[in-house]
Amino acid sequence: MFPLITLAPALASLPSDLSLGSGNYYNDVMIIAVIVVLISVLAAAFVIQRAMSAILKLTMPELLQQEKAEKAQKKILQKARWNNILGLRPISEEKDIMIDHDFDGITELDNPIPIWFNALFYSTVTFGIIYLLIYQVFGWGMNQDQEYVHEMAIAEKEKQAYLAQAANLIDESSIEVNATMIAAGAAIFQANCAACHGDAGQGGIGPNLADKFWIHGGEIKDVFKTVKYGVPDKGMVPWEQTLSPAQIAEVSNYVLSLRGTNPAGAKEAQGVEVTYESAAAEPQKEEVL
């Protein structure tokens, strides 16, 4: 142990970037030298330990005999304790537990039931009683129907959390028309957009959103992009720092549902008229109302 303690300060002072095969000749030599010294110290410690054992055998043989006797006694006690747990009896005691009757010279031993088996049996009985009381008598635990309802409630929460996270992954390249978002988008529009575009999208400071003329494109991806990044040179602020992607998707769907409604007092048309090829692209009056 003393050589290891002596080497500790020297090892602590070595550079932390030392590694064998680093290309630095002196570093490699130093590492090899340290390894050789450590191996030598371990070998010396082993030799010293063997020498001390030999000296003890020569000078104090009675101490070694006593130690061996104690180890043997301890081993016997451990074996006896283990045999007791397993319900085993030594062969020398078989005559004491042999049953009187025999069949064709075959005798039987009256071995007791092992402790481990009794412990397992009584623990299952105790578990059964506790289970019966909890689930059948007092009703503290959930039955199968209640567990099903509980697990379904947890699954629904996880589903909603996933959908909320997935909704916030929407961008201008993945947004699609979704009529279920119109109602939520209407509330967002009234709170944030109506001041410039009118409460019915008829226009005001901002352009009319209720006709078929669009300045920056009239498809859902165009509307999403315009709301998200804004048009700063026209006074349209970017909303990506204020609204989440899911909220921008909702308000974009609502804006798209306003096209062609032509409310009273609508501002004059601006931009290019967009002709939608499919009838499904046209807003449904019932959804707007």
Q: DSSP assignment of 33-83, as one string? A: HHHHHHHHHHHHHHHHHHHHHHHHHHH-HHHHHHHHHHHHHHHHHHHHHHH
Q: State how far the Cα of 192 lies from the Cα of 251, in Å rounded to an integer.
A: 10
Looking at residues 191-216, what average pLDDT do you find?
91
211 burial level (CB within 10 Å; 0-12, 13-18, 19+): buried
Which residue is listed with tokens 């689930």? Answer: 135
C-alpha pair distances (Å), 17 with each of 10, 119, 127: 15, 58, 59
Contacts of 27 (CB under 8 A, 6+ apart): 15, 18, 19
Sign of CA dihedral 66, 68, 71, 73: negative
Read off the pLDDT band of 5 (50, 70, 90). very low
**Helix residue ranges, H only, the chain:** 2-12, 25-59, 61-86, 115-132, 144-167, 182-192, 194-197, 220-229, 245-257, 285-288
Report whether pLDDT(288) > 50: no
Q: State how far the Cα of 236 lies from the Cα of 259, in Å rounded to an integer.
A: 19
Which residue is listed with tokens 């909704």? Answer: 167
Q: What is the pLDDT of residues 50-98, one digit of tens each?
A: 888 888 777 877 777 888 888 888 888 888 788 777 777 777 777 777 8
Read off the pLDDT band of 277 (50, 70, 90). low
The four Cα atoms 257, 261, 263, 266 give a dihedral, to 10 degrees, of: 90
Q: Which domains does the chain have, with CATH numbers?
A: 2-59 (no CATH), 179-288 (1.10.760.10)
- Least confident stretch, 32-46, 91-105, 118-132, 232-246: 91-105
Report whether pLDDT(174) > 60: yes
Is residue 97 within 8 Å of residue 110, measured between CB atoms? yes
Q: State how far the Cα of 109 lies from the Cα of 100, in Å rounded to an integer.
A: 9
185 burial level (CB within 10 Å; 0-12, 13-18, 19+): buried
pLDDT at 26: 82
141 φψ region: left (φ > 0), alpha (ψ -120 to 50), beta (else): beta
Residue type, 153: A
Strand-pair partners of 273: 213
Q: Which residues of 124-135 are buried (b: 16+ CB within 10 A; e: fewer)?
A: eeeeeeeeeeee
Read off the pLDDT band of 284 (50, 70, 90). very low
CB atoms within 10 A of CB 285: 10
Q: What is the gyration radius of the CA atoms in the chain, in angstroms? A: 43
Model confidence pTM above 0.75: no
